[in-house]
């Protein structure tokens, strides 16, 4: 796992992030796409580190972070925030509470996980590369079958939650369009962009969220 935070006073790094390691892999992929420098990626050990990260998600690690039976990333324990939307807020004294806890990985993570399985197909052993291709195929199939909200024309925020599927309009769904070119169809991508532009775009960026049940 890639640390989420290095405290300024010399304490141990904090590892309460479900997606930082996947963003690290994404950065390697972007570097490779622009530089075409496969020798550096291979020779520096980055490709090996990337496979160790993927294996860590498959086998399971801190905070119950793991690949679930659908081929997606899940995780979470009470009192721990694991994504950028699970901020902690100071209460009294030094105590802090999680404002919004999510036990399943958000859409941005699903796009990252699908993307993370690309590099091993270039640098991994044939059997390992084959498994990564299979994981990618399974991720895309499940995502397309479960996350598209046909009635709203955008992606569900959460599926199979305690209260069912959550149709809140959140900015996370932009990652599903930006990180991968096959998680959604071209038509769906255009609908997502229209919804986000109409309801979340502000002069300083995207806001979050449009509450569940609020009329469009």
Torsion of CA 132, 136, 139, 143, to 10 degrees: 170
Enumerate residues 6+ apart whose C-beta is below 8 A from 13.
3, 4, 5, 6, 7
Least confident of 153-157, 161-165, 169-173, 198-202: 161-165
Tell me: the pLDDT tens digits for 66-89? 888 777 787 777 777 776 655 555
- Predicted confidence band of residue 62 (pLDDT cuts 50, 70, 90): confident
8-state DSSP, 83: S
8-state DSSP, 64: G
- Predicted confidence band of residue 185 (pLDDT cuts 50, 70, 90): very high
Contact 33, 27 (CB under 8 A): no
Contact 19, 108 (CB under 8 A): yes
What pTM value is reported for the model? Answer: 0.75
Strand pairing class (73-74; 66-67): antiparallel
Q: Where are the beta strands (DSSP E) in the chain?
A: 66-67, 73-74, 88-90, 96-98, 148-149, 154-155, 158-161, 164-166, 201-202, 205-206
Entry field: residues in the chain: 216
Contact 152, 167 (CB under 8 A): yes
């Amino acid at each position: 796992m890639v640390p989420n935070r290095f405290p300024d006073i010399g304490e141990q790094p904090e590892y309460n992030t479900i997606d930082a390691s996947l963003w690290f892999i994404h950065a390697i992929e972007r570097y490779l796409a622009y530089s075409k420098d496969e020798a550096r990626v291979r020779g520096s050990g980055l490709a090996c580190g990337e496979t160790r990260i993927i294996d860590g998600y498959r086998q399971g690690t801190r905070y119950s972070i793991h690949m679930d039976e659908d081929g997606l990333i899940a995780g979470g324990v009470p009192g721990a925030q694991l994504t950028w939307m699970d901020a902690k807020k100071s209460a009294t004294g030094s105590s802090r509470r999680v404002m919004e806890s999510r036990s399943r990985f958000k859409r941005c993570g699903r796009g990252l996980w699908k993307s993370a399985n690309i590099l091993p197909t270039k640098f991994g052993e044939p059997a390992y590369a084959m498994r990564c291709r299979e994981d990618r195929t399974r991720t895309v199939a499940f995502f397309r079958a479960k996350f598209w909200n046909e009635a709203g024309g955008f992606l569900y925020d959460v599926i199979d939650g305690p209260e069912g599927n959550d149709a809140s309009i959140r900015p996370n769904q932009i990652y599903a369009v930006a990180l991968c070119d096959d998680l959604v169809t071209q038509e769906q991508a255009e609908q997502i962009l229209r919804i986000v532009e109409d309801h979340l775009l502000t002069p300083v960026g995207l806001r979050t969220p449009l509450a569940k049940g609020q009329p469009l």
